[in-house]
């Protein structure tokens, strides 16, 4: 077998392979010979069909089958011989494809790049640290109180914190726009659930009041046809309500499933839940920073085919969640970083010698199971599904690599509050 390699654009490689005619012919001959006992031809008893007749009828078909198999097998041998790591299935173009002649073909494909990891000890990483304070617990309990609020109608102008029921019609340049109108919508003023500036202009309106307010859609608004545009909303108020918050007592705790221990037990449960969320957010932030540092320190080209495949996967996931029709182009940047990250993590696993820690896998599954009514059923379901288990194992090994990198890198701590960590837009 003769092999030559041509470097194309970027990571593209063209592999020209020539297989001796006798190699292919021998396999064709062997297969035709074995067919003599199977084929049925009028005028001949089973097993007595002359080889010449079998050749005349089936030689072309058998040659095509054998040639396809030879190309697949020799391609694998050729990339091994040339120390290439294909990142995509090859596009194979036969050059010489005739029985009795050398079989020659060109395989075009992308390869994974060769790169040397930058020293981990050179990385500088900031790690968030935070502690839960009593005031943080108080704030969450206040949020829980608002969730249990009783609303009663009042005959006065609305104030911040009130709930108003409104109907509105939105227009741009005097024309109503799709999705800009609704009837009898309950809105808590100050909840920031509407476009910035909308809720502020509802303050001071009483029942049956009508008003027209002006706002400008944010530049990054999700509907691109509205982003950055000024609009007017004709508002009608049909109800103004004030909230009555329940007392923070043992009865309140019971409403949240605390049968024994009262308010103190509820505070303990709240603290534990907040601690889990805080630990998770800090770990997620640290992982993100580690991966960003690794990407910065290890610039590389990546196979376009792998990026397109990852972008398509991200698109399908996002489409399933949103129910909309999305383009894979929207995810190309994220997909490229994911492919790069995967390659870097793969090399780090080899460098560190890490292997999946089964106890960490079990711990991660059990932690996720706590969110379900029947944790044991969730655990059993996960452990009986090989695909889901591989996904969990992949996440665990990623976390182990991150911990290993943190142990090798220069790490400094940044003191933060619970709210700063949990609301990362302004701090992370």
Q: Give me the mean pLDDT over the 10-38 stretch.
A: 88
- Answer yes or no: is pLDDT of 267 > 90: yes
Half-sphere exposure of 207 (CA within 13 A, CB side): 9
Query: Would you call 415 exposed, middle or buried from its count of C-beta atoms within 10 A (0-12, 13-18, 19+)?
Result: exposed
CB 287 within 8 A of CB 398: yes
- Domains of the chain: residue spans and CATH: 2-110 (3.30.70.1050), 120-131+252-426 (1.10.3120.10), 149-244 (3.10.50.40)
- Answer yes or no: is pLDDT of 428 > 50: no
Q: Give me the mean pLDDT over the 93-113 stretch.
A: 91
The two beta strands, 210-216 and 230-244, are: antiparallel
Name the percent of the chain lying above pLDDT 70: 98
pLDDT of residue 125: 96
- Answer yes or no: is pLDDT of 425 > 50: no
Own/partner long-range contacts of 399-402 (Cβ < 8 Å, ≥24 apart):
399/283, 399/287, 399/360, 400/354, 400/356, 400/357, 400/360, 401/345, 401/348, 401/349, 401/352, 401/354, 402/286, 402/287, 402/290, 402/291
**Partners of residue 240 on adjacent β-strands:** 164
How far does CA 161 lie from the centroid of its chain?
37
- Answer yes or no: is pLDDT of 281 > 70: yes
pTM above 0.85, yes or no: no
Q: Give me the mean pLDDT over the 118-143 stretch.
A: 95
Half-sphere exposure of 426 (CA within 13 A, CB side): 7
Q: Give which of 28, 17, 37 is closest to 60, Cα–Cα.
A: 28
**Partners of residue 186 on adjacent β-strands:** 165
Give the tens place of pLDDT for each residue, 209-236: 999 999 999 998 888 889 999 999 999 9
Q: Give me the mean pLDDT over the 35-56 stretch.
A: 74
pLDDT of residue 426: 35
Give the tens place of pLDDT for each residue, 162-194: 999 999 999 999 999 998 999 999 999 998 999
Q: Confidence band (pLDDT; 50, 70, 90) for 427?
A: very low
Token pair for 410? 């220069």
pLDDT of residue 424: 61
pLDDT of residue 262: 93
């Amino acid at each position: 077998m003769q092999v030559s390699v041509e470097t194309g654009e970027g990571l593209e490689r063209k592999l020209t392979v020539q297989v001796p005619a006798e190699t292919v012919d021998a396999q064709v001959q062997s297969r035709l010979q074995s067919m003599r006992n199977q084929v049925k031809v009028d005028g001949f008893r089973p097993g007595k069909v002359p080889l010449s007749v079998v050749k005349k009828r089936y030689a072309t078909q058998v040659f095509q089958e054998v040639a396809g198999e030879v190309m697949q097998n020799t391609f694998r041998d050729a990339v091994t011989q040339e120390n290439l790591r294909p990142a995509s299935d090859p596009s194979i173009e036969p050059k010489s494809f005739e029985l009795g002649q050398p079989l020659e073909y060109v395989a075009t494909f992308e390869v994974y790049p060769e790169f040397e990891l930058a020293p981990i000890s050179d990385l500088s990483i900031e790690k968030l640290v935070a502690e839960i304070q009593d005031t943080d617990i108080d704030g969450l309990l206040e949020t829980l109180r608002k969730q249990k609020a009783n609303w009663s109608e009042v005959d006065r102008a609305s104030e911040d914190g009130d709930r108003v029921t409104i109907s509105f019609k939105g227009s741009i340049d005097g024309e109503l726009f799709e999705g800009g109108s609704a009837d009898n919508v309950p809105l808590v003023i100050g909840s920031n659930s509407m476009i910035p500036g909308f809720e502020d202009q509802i303050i001071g309106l009483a029942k049956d009041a009508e008003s027209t307010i002006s706002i400008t859609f944010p530049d990054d608004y999700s509907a691109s046809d509205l982003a950055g545009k000024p609009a007017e909303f004709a508002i009608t108020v049909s109800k103004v309500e004030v909230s009555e918050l329940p007392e923070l007592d043992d009865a309140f705790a019971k409403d949240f499933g605390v049968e024994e221990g009262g308010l103190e037990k509820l505070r303990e449960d709240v603290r534990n839940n907040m601690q889990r969320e805080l630990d998770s957010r800090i770990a997620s932030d640290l992982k993100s920073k580690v991966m960003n540092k690794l990407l910065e320190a290890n610039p590389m080209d990546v196979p376009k085919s792998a990026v397109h495949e990852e972008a398509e996967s991200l698109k399908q996931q996002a489409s399933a969640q949103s129910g909309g029709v999305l383009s894979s182009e929207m995810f190309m940047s994220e997909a490229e970083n994911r492919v790069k990250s995967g390659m870097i993590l793969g090399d780090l696993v080899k460098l560190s010698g890490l292997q999946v820690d089964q106890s960490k896998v079990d711990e991660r599954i059990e932690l996720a199971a706590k969110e379900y009514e029947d944790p044991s059923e969730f655990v059993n379901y996960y452990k009986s599904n090989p695909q889901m288990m591989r996904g969990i194992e992949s996440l665990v090994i990623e976390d182990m690599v991150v911990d290993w990198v943190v142990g090798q890198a220069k790490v400094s701590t940044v003191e933060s509050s619970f709210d700063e960590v949990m609301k990362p837009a302004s701090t992370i």
